[in-house]
């Protein structure tokens, strides 16, 4: 049995992982789908002071509360920022880290650093209507999505050396969504022997478009 920790993307919630979570449990594993302050099931807790550190703290606290020792850590989209932050604290306990069409920051980088003018204009424009909160990007609007805390997008990840202790690193790139901000991360890792690289014929919502492929990739970490 393997323990899996799943972290969702911006504006979303742990519900994004419902199918993968159910499939992993059916395969005999334990799964923690993290709930983050101000988002998803915890959207009533939103306040403009929520930072990336807040969400890293959330995941680390839920791992501790669940009594997990060693685990596989999986993040989707903006969740790549969070799992990188968790890795800087708990890397020696992580058997594999899986970036699912996710941001892959280097030391000292924020999501702001990894995005361009189009995204930046949207982040800033959202402040006119709801200070401290960023509305879903155009085209991603959905009844289940919540405004996202701005400060989580501008706080940088700081490496500690702990993240280097993770023995396996996997990147899953969804090649059916264009233009995509994630192609540069795919390009950076696909020929790197330190990484395992996969492509999926899918939109950014890879969990819905290619659930079986994603399941098999994640199960490969068990």
Report the chain's terminal Cα–Cα distance, integer Å. 7
Q: Determine which one of 14, 77, 110, 126 is catalytic.
A: 77
For residue 65, give the CATH number of its domain: 3.40.50.1820
Two tokens at 2? 């393997």
From first to last of its 222 residues, what are the pLDDT tens digits of the chain? 999 999 999 999 999 999 999 999 999 999 999 999 999 999 999 999 999 999 999 999 999 999 999 999 999 999 999 999 999 999 999 999 999 999 999 999 999 999 999 999 999 999 998 999 999 988 776 778 999 999 999 999 999 999 999 999 999 999 998 889 999 999 999 999 999 999 999 999 999 999 999 999 999 999
Annotated active-site residue 146? The verdict is no
pLDDT at 142: 75
Give the SS3 label for residue 133.
strand
User: 5 by DSSP, 3-state: which?
Assistant: strand
Note the pLDDT of residue 15: 96
Full residue range of the structural domain in which residue 97 is found: 3-219
pLDDT for the residue 178: 85
Number of domains in the chain: 1
List of E strands, the chain: 3-7, 30-33, 71-76, 94-100, 133-134, 148-149, 169-174, 196-200
Bond into 171 cis (ω within 30): no
pTM assigned to the model:
0.97
């Amino acid at each position: 049995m393997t323990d899996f920790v799943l972290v969702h993307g911006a504006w979303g919630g742990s519900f994004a992982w419902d199918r993968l979570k159910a499939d992993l449990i059916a395969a005999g594993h334990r799964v923690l789908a993290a709930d983050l302050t101000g988002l998803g099931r915890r959207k009533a807790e939103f306040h403009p002071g929520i930072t990336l550190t807040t969400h890293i703290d959330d995941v680390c606290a839920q791992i501790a509360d669940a009594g997990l020792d060693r685990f596989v850590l999986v993040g989707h989209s903006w969740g790549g920022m969070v799992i990188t932050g968790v890795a800087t604290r708990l890397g020696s306990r992580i058997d594999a880290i899986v970036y699912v069409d996710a941001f892959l920051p280097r030391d000292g980088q924020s999501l702001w650093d990894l995005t361009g003018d189009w995204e930046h204009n949207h982040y800033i424009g959202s402040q006119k209507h709801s200070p401290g909160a960023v509305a879903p990007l155009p085209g991603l609007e959905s009844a289940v999505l919540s405004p996202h805390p701005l400060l989580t997008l501008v706080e940088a990840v700081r490496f500690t050396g702990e993240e280097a202790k993770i023995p396996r690193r996997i990147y899953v790139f969804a090649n059916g969504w264009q233009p995509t901000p994630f192609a540069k991360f795919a390009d950076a890792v696909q020929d790197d022997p330190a990484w395992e690289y996969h492509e999926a014929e899918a939109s950014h919502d890879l969990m819905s478009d290619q659930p079986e492929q994603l399941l098999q990739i994640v199960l490969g970490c068990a």
